[in-house]
A = this chain, B = another copy of it.
Amino acid sequence: MTPQKELVRPVEIIRRRPQYLAKKPPKIETGVLKFIPLGGCGEVTRSMYIYEYGDDIVIIDMGLQFPEEDMPGIDYLIPNIEYLIPKKKNIRGIIITHGHYDHIGAIPHLVEPLGHPPVYTMPLTRGMILKRQEDFKHLGKLSVEVIREDSKLKFGSFEVEFFRVNHNIPDSIGVILKSPAGTIVHTGDWKFDHTPVNEKPIDVERLKGIGDKGVMLLVSDSTGAKDAGRTISESEIQKNLEEIFKNAKGRIICATFSSLLTRIQQLIWLSEKYGRKVLVEGYSMKSNVAVSQELGYLKVKRGTFIGREEFETLPDEQVTIICTGAQGEDHAVMMRIANSEHKFLSLKGSDSVVFSSSVVPGNEASVQRLKDLLYKKAGKIYHSESMDIHASGHAKSEDIKDMIRLIRPRYFIPMHGNYFMLRIHAELAIEAGVKGEHVAIAEDGEIIEMNSNQFRKSKEKAPTSYVMVDGLGVGDIKEVVLRDRQMLSEDGIFVIIAVVDSQSGKIKGSPDIISRGFVYLKESRELLASARHLVKKVTEETTSQMHPINWAFLRDEIREELGKFLFRKTKRRPMVLPVIIEI
């Protein structure tokens, strides 16, 4: 037992718990800037950050979150916008930092209820937002304004500028907000890559220049704060991937995130260099590739992309397959290939399979299942645990401290992380020179108020209860529905339908039973017969002295007695639902 995952980095996280905020700050009198995370401060996803000064509100990002294990059947979660609804006339604009779903995915659901404020973003991000909007035809057209890295906007009392960052999708930006209270730098998702692939390196001089002018608040990405050292460059990844291309004798099958456009570009270039055509498989992968190619963000030679027909005429060593499914998702392309369930692809002993991705926490078991299948059928398996063929899109601790030293903010708030990442990031900020009382951890819904003299957490909070999207329903799934789903999944359901004569109180005929997910019915005849018998008995005993019959009481009696009986016989607790038809 006690499977393995062990010593990785010789770094300690033994730091003093910083005293983030002064304990009893005086009331703020003058103009105040408020920072309010509606998502992303408590999770590495569902990003949505609010900056509010007087009557002016700027929103940065509007992302979705995929559901957790205890939310069966839910498609995804979106930020709760109750705080904004009464103030929607104050919203001056929505800025989107980059095209990943955890930053754009809630746009179709939220822009309309917020009164259609203008959305601003870079061209590729715009393309991805509009592409996604096509899946929501009933919601109507969305207009998205294009900005450039050097655009300047005026949102009420906010002046807005941008700066380029590296991530793993082109056109990622950070935002500079100049408010009367002071200047704010909001990084978006970022890393330093001084030798990036298919984009310019982050402009360190520009960052230093921003810092030189004086920054009141830095809000920065915490995803990699827990990791020691620095994120390796995409060109390093490229070099390692090239080794695989040099050595591969048969097909190369690469699974990665469909949103990892930088990686997809690398794989296309390597394929071209080594005489391979590229087949792209997977709906989201195809869709992202189409948008980025159309907008000129993916450089692909004519004839590189092939369809199934050409693919089937080519020798193995002239083909690369780029597909979804690096997380072992059941219906994604890689799993279907591995399971021999794909309509025209199956594995060969000469294949090289490449996982150019990380494992999202929670997916480890399904990735192991996928690996088992691959090791049975494919020739060579490369993954990022054994080789540097994936780099994170996020800065690690040393880079993070450099960013803080470049910007030299008066105040610091970590964003885009689980709580533990936020806390580690807060500690890094103190190491990098920010005063302990000028660092705040704001969890979703908490409001940090500040100006040049004051920095404090408000007593007020924005609502942040989960808003779940399930099919066409947005926010209509309540706790009770989820609890029922979980209960149903544990031990199933047991419905008993009895027709009761309201005169005699006796059951007519034999009660019907519907049981699903509880026991294997074919082998449970005896149990079902006893249950029927029990219901008859309980009904007759309960009603014998009862005129008129109290139907609710009878139902409760049946539920209780039947539940106890079934538990005694099986040690399982199905949901027991008695239905009584009075005639």
Q: Which of B13, B375, B512, B517 contacts A386 (CB 8 A)?
A: B13
Q: Please choose the segment from A194-202, A266-274, A486-494 that sits at the chain B interface, where 4 or more of its residues have CB less than 8 A away.
A: A486-494
CA distance A44 to B4 in the complex (A): 10
Name the residue on B nearest A522 (C-beta).
Answer: B478
Is A572 in contact with B223, judged by CB distance below 8 angstroms? no
Q: Please choose the segment from A81-89, A205-213, A391-399, A404-412 that sits at the chain B interface, where 4 or more of its residues have CB less than 8 A away.
A: A391-399
Is A227 in contact with B6, judged by CB distance below 8 angstroms? yes
Q: Please choose the segment from A176-184, A448-456, A457-465, A573-581 that sits at the chain B interface, where 4 or more of its residues have CB less than 8 A away.
A: A573-581
CA distance A489 to B358 in the complex (A): 28
> Smallest Cβ distance from A120 to chain B, in angstroms?
21
Given contacts A372-B418, A497-B579, A581-B497, contact A5 B476 (CB under 8 A): no
Given contacts A1-B102, A3-B358, A386-B13, contact A481 B518 (CB under 8 A): yes
What B residues does A365 contact at CB under 8 A?
68-69, 361-362
Is B6 in contact with A481, judged by CB distance below 8 angstroms? no
What B residues does A524 contact at CB under 8 A?
476
Q: Please choose the segment from A26-34, A286-294, A376-384 that sits at the chain B interface, where 4 or more of its residues have CB less than 8 A away.
A: A376-384
Name the residue on B nearest A579 (C-beta).
Answer: B497
CA distance A373 to B419 in the complex (A): 8
CA distance A381 to B12 in the complex (A): 9
Q: Is A499 part of the binding interface, using a Cβ–Cβ cutoff of 8 Å?
A: yes
Q: Which of B1, B11, B13, B260 contacts A2 (CB 8 A)?
A: B260
CA distance A575 to B430 in the complex (A): 54
Is A44 in contact with B520, judged by CB distance below 8 angstroms? no
Q: Is A387 part of the binding interface, using a Cβ–Cβ cutoff of 8 Å?
A: yes
Q: Which of B3, B44, B489, B520 contacts A3 (CB 8 A)?
A: B44
Is A471 in contact with B516, judged by CB distance below 8 angstroms? no
Q: Is A561 part of the binding interface, using a Cβ–Cβ cutoff of 8 Å?
A: no
Is B489 in contact with A485, judged by CB distance below 8 angstroms? yes
Given contacts A1-B45, A5-B361, A358-B4, contact A375 B420 (CB under 8 A): yes
A9-26, CB < 8 A from B:
9-15, 17
> Smallest Cβ distance from A498 to chain B, in angstroms?
10
- Per-residue CB proximity of A506-528 to B under 8 Å, as 1/0? 00000010101111100110000
Is A520 in contact with B478, judged by CB distance below 8 angstroms? yes
What B residues does A257 contact at CB under 8 A?
1-2
Q: Is A137 part of the binding interface, using a Cβ–Cβ cutoff of 8 Å?
A: no
Is B492 in contact with A2, judged by CB distance below 8 angstroms? no
Is B490 in contact with A485, judged by CB distance below 8 angstroms? yes
Q: Which of B101, B382, B492 contacts A1 (CB 8 A)?
A: B101
CA distance A372 to B44 in the complex (A): 12
Given contacts A365-B68, A382-B14, contact A358 B481 (CB under 8 A): no
Q: Is A360 part of the binding interface, using a Cβ–Cβ cutoff of 8 Å?
A: yes
> Smallest Cβ distance from A475 to chain B, in angstroms?
10
Is B7 in contact with A232, judged by CB distance below 8 angstroms? yes
Q: Is A8 part of the binding interface, using a Cβ–Cβ cutoff of 8 Å?
A: yes
Name the residue on B nearest A365 (C-beta).
Answer: B362
Name the residue on B nearest A224 (C-beta).
Answer: B4
> Smallest Cβ distance from A394 to chain B, in angstroms?
7
Q: Is A472 part of the binding interface, using a Cβ–Cβ cutoff of 8 Å?
A: yes
Interface size class for chain A? Answer: 35 or more
Given contacts A520-B477, A570-B472, contact A3 B488 (CB under 8 A): no
What B residues does A301 contact at CB under 8 A?
none
Q: Is A251 part of the binding interface, using a Cβ–Cβ cutoff of 8 Å?
A: no
Q: Which of B368, B473, B583 contacts A519 (CB 8 A)?
A: B473
A406-442, CB < 8 A from B:
418-420, 423-424
What B residues does A227 contact at CB under 8 A?
4, 6
What B residues does A10 contact at CB under 8 A?
387-388
Name the residue on B nearest A361 (C-beta).
Answer: B364
Q: Is A484 part of the binding interface, using a Cβ–Cβ cutoff of 8 Å?
A: yes
CA distance A569 to B473 in the complex (A): 9
CA distance A14 to B247 in the complex (A): 10
CA distance A184 to B383 in the complex (A): 35
Is A388 in contact with B520, judged by CB distance below 8 angstroms? no
Q: Which of B420, B484, B497 contacts A497 (CB 8 A)?
A: B497
Can you offer 28 A-B residue contacts whose CB atoms are under 8 A? A1-B45, A1-B102, A3-B44, A3-B223, A4-B223, A7-B385, A9-B385, A10-B387, A12-B387, A13-B380, A14-B247, A14-B382, A17-B380, A69-B365, A73-B517, A362-B364, A371-B418, A371-B419, A374-B420, A375-B423, A470-B570, A471-B570, A472-B569, A476-B519, A476-B524, A478-B520, A495-B577, A512-B581
Known: A371-B420, A471-B570, A485-B492. 15 other contacts (CB 8 A): A1-B189, A3-B360, A4-B227, A5-B358, A6-B227, A7-B390, A14-B247, A73-B492, A362-B364, A470-B572, A471-B572, A476-B524, A478-B520, A488-B517, A495-B577
The 10 closest A-B pairs by CB, nearest first: A471-B571, A489-B489, A362-B365, A488-B488, A484-B517, A485-B517, A372-B419, A375-B420, A72-B489, A361-B364
